[in-house]
Structure 1
Amino acid sequence: MKSLFKHSLILFLSVSLVSCGDKDGDPMAPDDNVMVVGQIDVLKSGTLSAQSSTNTQGMVSLVKDASGKYFVQLSDTFTTKFSTGTVTVYLATSQTLNPNSASTYQLVSIVGKPGEQFFALPGLPDAKLTHAIIWCGAAAIPFGFAKLD
């Protein structure tokens, strides 16, 4: 019985990981036209720790450009398990995303490629958002997190 449960769980997780790639009709597609103006100031940053057997690595930073706009920046060394498709970036109050408590996170964007990227924010995020999380919503599992200091 335990063996059947274990195999069923592995099958479920495998199917869930593959389903992260389905972004048809997803309204949160990243904006590849984000324009960062001039020099950027790094306000907070942290190194990603991989989770859920992914290869997530790189850095996440909260930055401000010369025009006063705020962004989440993924470093040029950023990568994650892109074989599963797109994943999502969140800012959160801890290293664990709680999708049932909207006051504990801020959605940033979908990210679908490795390397340096900037995601525009509507303003300076709330100070209580101390972590960045790389998340696969379809499987409801974390791919990585970084404490922003």
Structure 2
Amino acid sequence: MAFRDSASFGKRQEYIAVAELLKRGFDVYMTLVDDQQIDCIVRLEDAPPRYIDVQIKARSKTAKHPGTFAAMVIKDPRPNFFFIFYSEAADTYWVMPSLTIVDKANVGKSGKAEGKYRLDLTNTHRDGTVKPRPKWEQFQGAFDLLRAQPEKS
């Protein structure tokens, strides 16, 4: 996939993920710039209202590893910071708290990947089909995690 197609795919998938949030009744605000790892903000009508920062990551079906999200930097993991991952090949969303990613993802040990996070959310079978990994099943389509009250520390 050429860079322009790749960039276009990512932006399209951001809007599609936001549409998924809207279909599920979330109040969503889009950011103009993604320099703080925030693609959108979800406002929850709690008392007082809560705000969830969301980063959206997508992999196309033509990607070499269509369910691998690698070289991720998470600047400030916190209870109100979530990632929405989408694999086009598996046609699956995963919704994960940033704190879970830093706890459970693989971390690069050296080179360019040193200190960066990697999630392998799918398996590619011999016949070419891409299926979600059972290890991450609790996060598949788990949009309701955005509504959950964060644990007190």
TM-score normalized by the length of structure 2:
0.29
Q: Greater relative contact order (Cα 8 A, min sep 6): structure 1 or 2?
A: 1
- The normalised TM-score by structure 1 is 0.30
Name the one with the larger helix percent.
2
